[in-house]
Structure 1
Amino acid sequence: MAIEAGSQAPDFALRNQHGETVRLSDFRGEKNVVVLFYPFAFTGVCTGELCALRDELPTFVNDDVQLLAISNDSPFALRVFAEQEGLDYPLLSDFWPHGEASRAYGVFDEEKGCALRGTFIVDKAGTVRWTVVNGLPDARDLGEYAKALATL
């Protein structure tokens, strides 16, 4: 069961595509955070969603907002994916312990071994303000993220 709006967002410490550790708590008091879980790099729907975010990046990465995209891929795969698709925002690896952050947010599919498409907008105080969870084949609507961010 995915965590709900009004809950405290679970902290995590995950490596990005450059091997640097990124913590959700690094942004507390500084920025609202879009925590976006996606199943795997290099797959059709995931690539489409992440490239759409890239194309609208000023909405999701600015002085007030940080985007953190999380999958169960290794940091090495994420680096190649980011370079191939021109993704200039943090792609975080929930590879080991496998799915730990995805499980904390209630979006890990045990049968498939990957995260569902879950998005959590976390305010500067660390509280989840908006969520959406879609099944593996169903892309999310970025316009909904922008609307939710505008209310913070």
Structure 2
Amino acid sequence: MVIEVGARAPDFELRDQHGTPFRLSAHRGGRVVLIFYPLAFSGVCGGELDAVRDEFLPALPGDVTVATVSVDSIFAHRAWADRQGYDFPLLSDFWPHGQAARAYGVLDEENGVAGRGTFVVDGEGVVRWRVVNPVSKARDVAEYLRALAELP
């Protein structure tokens, strides 16, 4: 079951592509956009993260942190980030496998990957907006910007 808007965002700590820990609750006071995606080095995922890099990040208000999450290893994330020029956190939900994706209700248990779910978490740790697409359908980062503009 996908976590509902208005629910407390499940806290987690995952490591980014550099091995640096990222704890969601450490970002209280600012908004966080969590972007779950299936796998690094895949076409749709690459298109989405390229749009995050090129369109979304340059337009972000200063109080917003972006973090992406997949079940890939830290090492796969590092190679992908270096190749694509991603300087935002690519968080590894590798072990326990899919724990964060499962907590948000977007783990595809049959295939063992995160689905395409995006969540905006406010400064108090509450989910204020979400979008979940089928694995084959890319999300539009313009929707993220609209959602952030409409939220306090």
TM-score (norm 2): 0.96
Q: 3-state SS of the aligned residue for 1:136?
A: coil
Partner of 1:101: 100
Equivalent residues, number = 150
Q: 3-state SS of the aligned residue for 2:17?
A: coil
Partner of 1:133: 132
Partner of 1:82: 81
Separation in structure 1 between the aligned mates of residue 104 and residue 118 of structure 2, nearest angstrom: 10
Partner of 1:53: 52
One-letter amino acid of the counterpart of residue 9, structure 1: A
Per-residue deviation, 1:4: 1.1
Per-residue deviation, 1:71: 0.4
**Identity across the alignment (%):** 61
Separation in structure 2 between the aligned mates of residue 22 and residue 127 of structure 1, nearest angstrom: 18
TM-score (norm 1): 0.96
Partner of 1:42: 41
1:11 aligns with 2:6: no
Partner of 2:150: 151
1:20 aligns with 2:20: yes
Task: List structure 1 runs of 4+ shifted beyond 2 angstroms.
Answer: none
Gaps of 5+ in 1: none
One-letter amino acid of the counterpart of residue 22, structure 1: F
Separation in structure 2 between the aligned mates of residue 59 and residue 25 of structure 1, nearest angstrom: 24
Per-residue deviation, 1:58: 2.2
Per-residue deviation, 1:63: 2.0
Partner of 2:123: 124
Gaps of 5+ in 2: none
Q: 3-state SS of the aligned residue for 1:70?
A: strand
